[in-house]
Amino acid sequence: MGFCNERQYQQFMRQVSEFEHMLFEDGVHVIKLWFSIDKEEQQKRFASRKGNPLKRWKLSPVDEKGQELWEKYTYYKEQMFSRTHTSFSPWMIIKSNSKQTARLEAIRHVLSQFEYDGKKESNVRILPDPNIVMRFHRSIYSLD
């Protein structure tokens, strides 16, 4: 899409993990979530937005171009995951064809990463569904 040139892209990809590691060393918890939908679901959502005057503002020319470039975007997305997924800052893939399920499971994942008052006494399931929320390396063969 021309948002950066090749040199800028390569520099960014080299620096991401270094920067995240510095944050980790300073005690910052970085949680990287990728809400993954398949191409057909994205097409349905775009069609719904186009047909609804209250949602039309959500659709941009960049979104529409992304549908045309789906395969190229998929290649670069996979490159990003493989180059920036680390043990201290892993990519978590959230299967998101169902918005509500994806949001609830993402919240469960975030809550499962921290200790807080009342967590242990709670009778609420905190751990996310491993079929919805998974580390990049586990999801590599089922990415949308």
Q: Mean pLDDT per segment of 10 residues, for the chain of length 144 residues?
A: 93 96 97 96 94 93 90 93 95 97 96 90 86 81 54
Three-state secondary-structure class, residue 94: strand
Indicate the angle between helix axes 61-68 and 70-84, nearest 10 degrees: 90
- Domain spanning 6-139, CATH architecture: 3-Layer(aba) Sandwich (3.40)
For the chain, the domains span: 6-139
What is each CA distance from 38 to 41, 43, 95, 109, 123, in whole angstroms?
5, 9, 9, 21, 34
Task: Determine how many CB atoms are found less than 10 A away from the CB of residue 143.
Answer: 15
Per-residue confidence (pLDDT) for residue 92, from 0 to 100: 96
| 129 burial type by CB count under 10 A (0-12 exposed, 13-18 middle, 19+ buried) | middle
Per-residue confidence (pLDDT) for residue 31, from 0 to 100: 97
* Predicted structure pTM score: 0.86
Task: Determine how many CB atoms are found less than 10 A away from the CB of residue 93.
Answer: 25
Per-residue confidence (pLDDT) for residue 39, from 0 to 100: 94
Per-residue confidence (pLDDT) for residue 120, from 0 to 100: 85
